[in-house]
Structure formats: C-alpha cells, structure tokens
A and B are shown apart, each in its own frame.
Chain A
C-alpha cells in the first residue's frame, strides 16, 4: 500500500469550517484526490491536486505539499448534507490508493 493516513472521525457544527488532513507516502506520487462518500453510496469526486498549493472550488478547498506528503480538505460554511465520509487517495504509477476515509458528522 501507500500508507494513506487520515483521521477516522470528526465532528463539526453547522456553519463552521473543518479541515480534514491526509498524509501519504511520497515515492512515485503523481497526484492527490479527494472524494466524498455518503453512507451506502459510491464516492463522488471533489478535488484533485498535482502541484503544491491550494485549489478552491466553492465551499471546498484542497491543499497539497508534495515535499511533506501532506494534503488537507477544507470545508467552509458546513451544511448538514456535508455529513459523509471523505476519502483521500494518492495516485501512483497508474493506480489509486485510498485511505480509510474520515467520517464527518455535522451537528446543528
């Protein structure tokens, strides 16, 4: 595997900001993806970083530091519908390696 690590579970309040961290093994790294997965459903694509820095897409932003093997997903203005698992995946040599996912609980 590629040693993808992310927290198992997080809780945040509606309207707040939450940051979900992900670390990965840097050898052979070609890109970092974030997916959202609601319970019982397939993952859906959120963002993709291949270069260092911040990528912003509406309420979601993703950051990458290749030298540190580190990424985070930032969710702003949290909504109840954001309660889901967030999967970090590194892309290496034609293959995607997924972390176990971070279950985000958004509370009113």
Chain B
C-alpha cells in the first residue's frame, strides 16, 4: 500500500532562518506531488506541484522554493523565513493528474 511521510511534524523557527521540509512517498512510482499551505482557519493554498523529477511548477510568487531530487521525494525550502510563512504545510500525491490526492500528516510551522 502507498504511504506518504512528512517531517518534521512541528517546527518553530526564527524570522530570517532557513527552512527545509521533506516529503516522501512509498509504494508508487512517478506520482504527481504537491505542496500546500493552510493558514489558521483558511483553505489550502497550492504552492508547488511536480509531475516528474526536476519538474516543478510554482503557483504563487513567494520566498519559498521546491525541489524533487528523486521520484518520490519532494522538498520545500526557504532561504529566509518570514512571519507570514507560518502555517500548516501539507504534501500530497496523486497517481495521475486527475485523480484524488492523498495527503501527508502535515508540518505545523511557526515563525517567530
């Protein structure tokens, strides 16, 4: 069966510090991968999606970046965090681009 992992589960970082969140998927090949952010009490905002290794599409301009160094690994990064980067970060995968998405457990990031 397929599983999706995210770590860390929670993170508290100072403003201006770097960020690296990792997401890995098991049990499937060549998944579509997604990064979302959810602010408190808000909906999910799509940040990045990837249909293959090295292929990243960015949805919104911001100080975040994403990389896919391996087929089932998706990384969200920032060189300098802002207060507004606080939120619940969710990684998701789907088998094909028009199929349901399965979400990871999420990382709750607090920037102080």
Q: Which residue numbers of A lie inside 8 Å of B, CB to CB?
A: 4, 30-31, 33, 40-45, 48, 87, 89, 91, 94-101
Contacts and interface: CB of A to CB of B under 8 A. Distances in A.
Main SS of the interface on chain A?
strand
A42 B106 contact: yes
B106 A45 contact: no
Interface of B: 32, 34, 36, 42-46, 49, 51, 57, 59, 90, 97-98, 100-106, 108
Given A96-B34, A96-B46, A99-B43, 20 more contacts: A33-B101, A41-B105, A42-B103, A42-B104, A42-B105, A43-B90, A44-B103, A87-B44, A89-B44, A94-B51, A94-B57, A94-B97, A95-B46, A95-B49, A98-B36, A98-B43, A98-B45, A100-B43, A101-B42, A101-B43
Contacts of B51: 94
Contacts of B46: 95-98
A21 to B, nearest CB: 15
Contacts, number: 47
A100 B45 CA distance: 9
A30 B45 CA distance: 19
B66 to A, nearest CB: 14
A66 B58 CA distance: 28
Nearest to B100: A45
A87 B46 CA distance: 14
Closest 3 pairs between A and B when the two form their complex, measured CB to CB = A100-B43, A42-B103, A98-B44
